[in-house]
Structure 1
Amino acid sequence: MNEPEAVSNAPVEPVAPPHVRIRPEWLALRSEPALEPALPIIDAHHHLWELPDKVYRVADLLDDMSGGHDIRATVFIECKTHYDTNAPAGFEALGEVRFACDEARKAQAAGARAKVAAAVVANADLLLGDKARPVLERMLDVSDARVRGIRNIAVWHADPSVRASAATPPQGLLTDRRFREGFRHLAPLGLSFDAWLVHTQIDELCALAAAFPDTHIVLNHAGSPLALGPYRGHRDEVVDAWRTGVTALSRYHNVSMKLGGFGMPLFGFDFQEQPLPPNSQTLANAIRPYVETCIDAFGATRCMFESNFPVDKGCFSYSILWNAYKRITAGIPDGERAALFHDTAAGFYRIGAT
């Protein structure tokens, strides 16, 4: 695959922070009206949090969503906020589930048209093995079945200069026997799995999908082709290796793909280094090869767009991102566009009429 060496003896470059700092005054330098404002959208991946160094609550999300796009529903993704430190071991993430559901109710009380957190993807430590089942069952109970899936971040790389996530999972998480003991309880409980890993790990997800063909899996952030550490400056080689992995993964029909995450440093676009935020055409031009490769491999009915807000908010505004997605897909049939923007996410996460 002519991929660059993963580990080098060269001095390690400074480790980049996993999120780009949000600068509202910089984002305000670029605005656009919403293109095709009547196109229904489900935002298949966003976060809400209240952390020591940053806050993003439902009021912030609704403000970002106020740019004119027809956001019908959203999917909340775990981000290790509001954990219940008084809960029994393994049950701490129930606090985050309660927080997400409370935020959803606040959006409804505020009269929001969008069903915020219509589906919740929670965190349950599947390394608990069979002991994960009572945790999963309790999550379904406290969320009135709003919990539709589980995410355990698997991002790992041997090179310390390749820091794609703030999470620090062990090497080979998806192949761990205890993890798979926990994973096997998802499908019987009607739960899907959100996977996040980088492109050098896609073969691990292929093996997991093959071992559990009845479990619905979605890969976050387009499979995260790396542009950090030894991969910086090797975009063509990385894309070739990533495309090979994506094509192999698409052969497992229980796997879908989320298209987004392009504001994370791991992609190496460095939009935040420019004097002005990108407009939607510039953004579309940059991300088009990744979006189109995934759609070509998986088909529109197994791809869904995500905002990844507020993580990606450091690089572009919410409205400009959705304009970019609309520009990229302008030439494809209406039915396929409906799948990408709404229907695939609605089916995968079992979101009712919006």
Structure 2
Amino acid sequence: MNDVSTFDWRAHFLASGEDADLPIVDAHQHYFDIEQHYYPWLNDRPLRPFRYGDYSSICRNFLPADYRRLSGRHRIVQTVVIEGEWDPATPADEVRFVESLALHEPTLAAMVGQVWLDREDAADLLRLYGDHPLVRGVRHKPVVTSLEAWREDFAAPGSMRDPRWRDGYARLAENGLHFELQAPWWHLSEAAELARDFPDVTIVVNHTALPADRSEQGLAGWRDNLALLAREPNVALKISGICIQGKAWPVESNRVVVNDAISIFDVSRCAFASNYPVDGVVNSLGEVLDGFKTIVRDRSLADRLALFHDNARRIYRLT
């Protein structure tokens, strides 16, 4: 149920307290048109290894009408479109594509553009994005490694410690852009260094820092590294992307992840997001949103509004 009318759904929810009235700003979703545009990970074969397993089911168009249909009874008032790993040869074209969708989809409120911070075109792209009314930040997934191979001095080319990559990152603040970080939790000490070295740049951590290993040891490592990063005041956390391969959205096993993340970062720095249609590999959009609602149902109305609506509006500077 997408709704961007002038009706004050926030006040209505505070009065009713009903989940159905909770206004949602989906802080992380994607639109794909794989028939008209090239997304290497969706168009190429064979498909790449992926944490959710076989993702052939989402290798198709996903456009505003699809999102509207799948959101069902949930009160989606605004969304933020995150770059969808478009053809890296023409990243600015994705901004133009999303802009064309926004002309006809009033809930599409902002986007995050693709950039390759260590490329020669980074400075020009950042200036272009900084001047664009839809773009609030950029994403470039830094080079990472496995937990087994990671070392304290990890500094591979294209990583968060790569001087060339950091030269591009240093231009974010002057263009009024924040940085969306997608990296597994064992790289968060590098992100903490980045946050300290560039205090004028907000880092928004994607997908809860990827707590895929739900063993006791895996969750302990995730919590410790998340707490290390949470010490930096210029970091926010998107609680999303926590589906588990082969399982319906597991409220009980996800409850500990959601509650620990909120405890570590505080309600004021967390925002829920769907990661749709990517999480559609495992779960429906309704299951993802219902799962978050179930986990925080006992929290105050103000906390629920913050997590589903207010914080995303602040982080993405939405009007």
Q: Tell me the TM-score normalized by structure 2.
A: 0.80
- 1:139 Cα deviation from its structure 2 partner: 2.6
Per the alignment, residue 62 of structure 2 pairs with: 56
Indicate if the aligned counterparts of 1:199 and 1:226 stay in contact, CA closer than 8 A: no
1:252-277 CA deviation, whole Å, 9 max, x = no partner? Answer: 010010001022xxxxx3335xxxx4
Query: How is 1:16-35 mapped onto 2 (pairs within 5 angstroms)?
Result: none
C-alpha separation in 1, matches of 2:210 and 2:68: 27
1:112-157 alpha-carbon deviations (Å, 9 max, x no partner): xxx12x111001111136x52221122344x4x2100000112622
1:112-127 map, 5 Å: 115-116=107-108, 118-127=109-118
Q: What residue in structure 2 maps to residue 271 of structure 1?
A: 246
* Gap runs ≥5 in structure 2: 1-17, 35-42, 44-58, 150-155
Q: How has the CA–CA distance of structure 1 residues 97 and 316 changed in structure 2, closer, same or farther, with 3 Å as cutoff?
A: same
SS at match of 1:173: coil
Alpha-carbon distance between aligned partners in 1 of 2:74 and 2:300, rounded to the nearest angstrom: 20
Quick one: which amino acid aligns to residue 111 of structure 2? Answer: V
SS in 2 for 1:42: strand
Counterpart in the other structure of 1:102: 100
Structure 2 counterpart SS, 1:119:
strand
Select 1:136's aligned residue among 126, 129, 135. 126
Distance 1:55 1:204 in 2: 35
Equivalent residue pairs, number: 275
Partner in structure 2 of residue 223 of structure 1: 209
Q: Which has the higher contact order (CA 8 A, sep 6+)?
A: 1
CA contact (8 A) 2:212 2:242 kept: no
2:211 partner amino acid: P
CA distance in 1: counterparts of 2:259 and 2:287, whole angstroms: 18
Q: 1:16-68: per-residue Cα shift (whole Å, max 9, x none)?
A: xxxxxxxxxxxxxxxxxxx7111111000011112334221222111112x11
Matched, 1:210 2:196: yes
**Structure 2 match to 1:45:** 28
Q: Distance in 1 between matches of 2:148 and 2:33?
A: 28
Is the contact made by 2:270 and 2:307 (CA closer than 8 Å) also made in structure 1? yes
SS of 2:145 mapped into structure 1: coil
8 A contact 2:143–2:158 mirrored in 1: no
The 2-side partners of 1:222 and 1:304 are apart by 10
Deviation at 1:93, TM superposition (A): 0.6
TM-score normalised to the size of structure 1?
0.73
Equivalent residue for 2:82? 77
Alignment of 1:9-20 (within 5 A): none
Q: Superposed, which structure 2 residues align to 1:1-354 within 5 Å?
A: 36-51=19-34, 52=43, 53-65=59-71, 67-81=72-86, 92-108=90-106, 115-116=107-108, 118-128=109-119, 132-141=122-131, 143=132, 145-154=133-142, 156-158=144-146, 173-227=159-213, 235-263=215-243, 269-272=244-247, 277-278=248-249, 283-352=250-319
Tell me the distance in 1 between the aligned counterparts of 2:148 and 2:197: 30
Residue equivalent to 1:18: none
Change in 2 beyond 3 A, CA 1:212/1:159: closer
**Partner Cα separation in structure 2 for residue 321 and residue 211 of structure 1:** 35
| Distance across 1 between alignment mates of 2:124 and 2:157 | 26
Cα RMSD for the two superposed structures: 2.3
In structure 1, give the amino acid aligned to 2:32: W
Deviations 1:282-314 (A, max 9, x none): x22121111111100111110000100111012
Deviation at 1:172, TM superposition (A): 5.8
Q: Percent identity?
A: 32
Which amino acid in 2 is paired with 1:136? Answer: L
Contact kept? 2:130, 2:177, Cα under 8 Å: no
Q: Name the CA distance, whole Å, in 2 between partners of 1:323 and 1:261.
A: 14
| Matches of 2:87 and 2:140, distance apart in 1 | 17
CA change 1:262–1:171 in 2 (3 A) is: farther
